Chains A and B, each alone.
Chain A
Amino acid sequence: MVGTDTSAAEEIRRYPGLLARLSLSAMEEAEHLREGYVAGALHAADQLRDQLRDTGLFDEIHQLPDGAGPRLTACFVDGGVGQVEMLGTHPVLVRAALFRIAEGERDLARRETFAFFPVILGDLTSGEKRLPTYVTTVRAIAELGALLRSFHDHRFADVELLMLHGPLLLPLLGPIGPHWFSRADLVRMLNDDAWAAEVVEDLYSAIPVTFHHKGGLRAVAVISELVKRSVAASRNAGSILCGVVERERSTEVVHVYRKRLPVDVRTFDLPDELFTGLVLREGEYLEPFRPLVRYKPFKSKKLSGFEKTLPGVLVTWLKTGPHGLPVRVEFPDSLTSEEIVTMLRKVREYSSLLPNYAFPLGLDVADKMAKVPKWMSSAYRDAIGHELSVLLAQQSADPAELVRLLCFTSTNRSVMARPGVA
């Protein structure tokens, strides 16, 4: 529970970034609604915390203890996508990265461990490459595969806190339903070794046949299983697992508290990060709640019941510093309240090193490590270009076939395939 020492408007005046974000939000409204949006939102914000106190929502805002938490060995997980510029932009490579670090350790060899798990998209033959969500789905599976692998790798055996750059449950709520992957592709996405093959066999046994498709497995079930296994492994290892998301565009919080919010706040349809940015002060976080599962296929008779088998995950929003907007934090519902506080303190502590970005430094490191370097993307571009040139030189493919080949290897529509005007 927190007090109402300063008004929301004062906060906005102190941190212009919030006002800028509010203005951007206004630009997303219809033109006739834009006028007065910012002024109205400011007015609402000015009274929001007082009004919220009346709704009882303040009872669900908590303040973290000051100071740093205990020194831990933490592991950060993230993924990156490598793209090549060739008749448009084409993703060619997904790379998941693990960054383990023992706080306070001065021997660099023992202090830090890095691991990478690349997936060449051209190697994958299943899934729905035509859909823009294809790469996101592959990336989510590769990241979760790297996360799960960390529990089976002796180099990461001492990890006490695992932080994923991204949500634990949210991938299941996105439009990934159409995607499915063959056994071979799943093994490739989990780094193509004996361990990966064993995990995929287990997945085939554990996932109901309802989620088997053309001999493969539906991505939604694979992701759910990988999260559940990671949660179980973290519990066995006594470590804390969480996912941290920035730039989240959901409207979940307002929806959860909808009935208790003042009418004018509901009217503005504020995204969660703006709403929590107006409500929370530095170091405050919302009482964790269960995320909304809004994946339509779960409502169908065929998939009914699967919803209940999803991993138990809770969500909160934490304002890590004075400047940035709050971050969304997801974690297993099996964490104790002490573990939750420890985890959130570490998220805040790590974020304090990047006060303007207001996001954990360790995840920024993992993000940079996962990023596919330009030289690697360029090498792929050159290799593809060379292959195409050879085909053309051998006259084994005409230009139209080459364009089709490019379209096939890419996941997005190519501008070259656009119908021309005669």
Chain B
Amino acid sequence: MVAIESVLAHDDERDIIGTVIGSANPSEFRLAVRPGRLAVQDFVALESDEGQTVWARIVEIERINPLFPTEAAQELAFQGLDAYDTVAALSRELVTAKCRVLGVEDDDRLKPLEYPVRPASAAWRPDPEKAAELLAGRIPEHRRLHLGQLRAHPEVPVFIDGQAVVARHLAVLAATGAGKSVAVRRVVEQLAGVGRGYPMVIIDPHGDYFGLSEIWPDRVDRYVASLDLATEEPESVIDLIAGLSGEDPTGPQTDFLTGLVWLARRDDQQERLNALSEEKGGTRLPSVKTDVLTWMVQAGRKVQALQVLSAPKSWRGYTQASTPTRQSSGRLSASSGRLQERSSGWRT
């Protein structure tokens, strides 16, 4: 009896919002949920057979009214009637949510789930603080870059590891309008924010980061460049950037910029892309690889803007890169002299 009361008390503390139905596998399962209680991207938690907490994220929600025949729906439309004015049953919807397993909690980390969750398991809404803790993982506080909050739970902050971003590579891939630019802008803000101030060069052909100079008017030097990389020597470009930041690029940075200019200088690159584009009927090429190449060529052939974030004196870095020692003044030092300074506004 004591055990039963204990279980009930345990369940009372949990906000039970669904039950596992159908077939489950280690990466996905489906919940029958209480209508209106969950949204896509919400987190749910369940108990594994071993008593550990399984975390999952809702990726899809379906609602169906099994008591509302299609024939009746068509007739309502035909007669111009509102279902509420008829005897159609509207309160017995079946709402199910497809959940993708994030992992099973083990020593404050999520590990892959190796065995499906038990059918008929109860799912509950996890504690937001716990969710935040798991989302931050074991990232030390000083390395956390605050990306934002969970859409469904504004009280849960989302972090990524700054060291991983800076010391290695980061690609942000998503559909148009999904928020890639906003996410990258947030990373930039965090990296350049107070107490961090990591120096950056942003090659920004679309002007996505134009507003940074409004946020940090004294720390962002904005230039509108008219620089044809196709005719520029790689060394000139590197010198130009070095002149902007006052620092020598690191080896990998030099390699990247050299490669960029090399790509832009190859006349056949653009011709090849044009040919590919014509093959596709003149439409935008769909593959990621081609898009990247397109971007590189476009960005390289006609760089329209360079934004340089200057480094504050109290810089705390993430990488082995050397610490900048002076603040950029906005002075141009490009050897070609074709880079033109603009103090404000945008010139096309």
Contacts and interface: CB of A to CB of B under 8 A. Distances in A.
A353 B84 CA distance: 13
Nearest to A106: B84
Contacts of A357: 71
Contact of B86 (A353, A355, A368): A353
A74 B66 CA distance: 20
A360 B79 CA distance: 16
Contact of B69 (A99, A104, A106, A354): A354
B86 A364 contact: no
B72 A101 contact: no
Interface in B70-92: 71-72, 75-76, 79, 84-92
Given A101-B89, A354-B75, A111 B84 contact: yes
Contacts of A111: 84, 90-91
Interface in A86-121: 99, 101, 103-106, 108-109, 111-112, 114
Contacts of B91: 108-109, 111-112
Given A71-B85, A103-B86, A105-B84, A353 B67 contact: no
A99 B75 contact: no
B88 A108 contact: no
Nearest to A74: B87
A356 B71 contact: yes
A233 B216 CA distance: 80
A369 interface: yes
Nearest to A72: B87
B27 to A, nearest CB: 25
B252 to A, nearest CB: 60
A101 B67 CA distance: 13
A352 interface: yes
Contacts of B90: 108, 111-112
A391 interface: no
A368 B71 contact: no
Nearest to A367: B67
B64 to A, nearest CB: 13
Interface residues of A, number: 28
B84 A101 contact: no
B67 A365 contact: yes
A365 B71 contact: no
Contact of B75 (A74, A104, A352, A368): A352
State the main secondary structure of chain A at its contact with B. Answer: mixed
A268 to B, nearest CB: 32
A59 B67 CA distance: 40
State the main secondary structure of chain B at its contact with A. Answer: loop
Nearest to A364: B69
Interface in B179-207: none
B65 to A, nearest CB: 10
Contacts of B79: 352
Contacts of B84: 104-106, 111
A101 B71 contact: no
A106 B88 CA distance: 12
Contacts of B72: 353-354, 361
Given A114-B92, A354-B69, A365 B75 contact: no
A181 interface: no
A373 to B, nearest CB: 10
A360 B88 CA distance: 10
Contact of B76 (A109, A353, A365): A353
Contacts of A354: 69, 71-72, 75
Contacts of A356: 71
A365 B85 contact: no
A151 B76 CA distance: 31
B119 to A, nearest CB: 11
A243 interface: no
Q: Which of A76, A99, A108: most chain B CB closer than 10 A?
A: A108
Nearest to A369: B67
A350 interface: yes
A100 B187 CA distance: 57
A156 B86 CA distance: 18
Contacts of A365: 67, 87-89
A326 interface: no
A109 B86 CA distance: 16
Given A108-B90, A111-B91, A355-B71, A368 B66 contact: yes
A321 to B, nearest CB: 10
Interface in B84-141: 84-92
A362 to B, nearest CB: 4
Nearest to A346: B87
Interface in A357-382: 357, 360-362, 364-365, 368-369
A193 to B, nearest CB: 25
B89 A99 contact: yes
Contacts of B67: 365, 368-369
Interface string A282-315: 0000000000000000000000000000000000
A237 to B, nearest CB: 19
A376 to B, nearest CB: 14
A101 B72 CA distance: 16
Contacts of B88: 353, 361, 365
Contacts of A362: 87
Contacts of B71: 353-357
A360 B90 CA distance: 16
Nearest to A368: B67
Q: Which of A76, A101, A356, A360: most chain B CB closer than 10 A?
A: A101
A353 B68 CA distance: 10
Nearest to B86: A353
B61 to A, nearest CB: 19
Interface string B34-70: 0000000000000000000000000000000011010
A108 to B, nearest CB: 4
Contacts of A108: 90-91
A369 B79 CA distance: 26
A108 B67 CA distance: 14
Contacts of B89: 99, 101, 112, 365
Contact of B87 (A106, A350, A355, A369): A350
A41 to B, nearest CB: 29
B79 to A, nearest CB: 7
10 contacts: A71-B85, A104-B84, A106-B84, A112-B92, A352-B79, A353-B88, A355-B75, A360-B87, A361-B88, A365-B88
The 7 closest A-B pairs by CB, nearest first: A362-B87, A108-B91, A112-B91, A353-B72, A365-B89, A365-B67, A101-B87
Given A105-B84, A111-B84, A369-B92, 17 more contacts: A74-B87, A76-B87, A104-B85, A108-B90, A108-B91, A109-B91, A114-B92, A350-B87, A353-B71, A354-B71, A355-B71, A357-B71, A361-B86, A361-B87, A361-B88, A365-B88, A365-B89
Interface of B: 66-67, 69, 71-72, 75-76, 79, 84-92
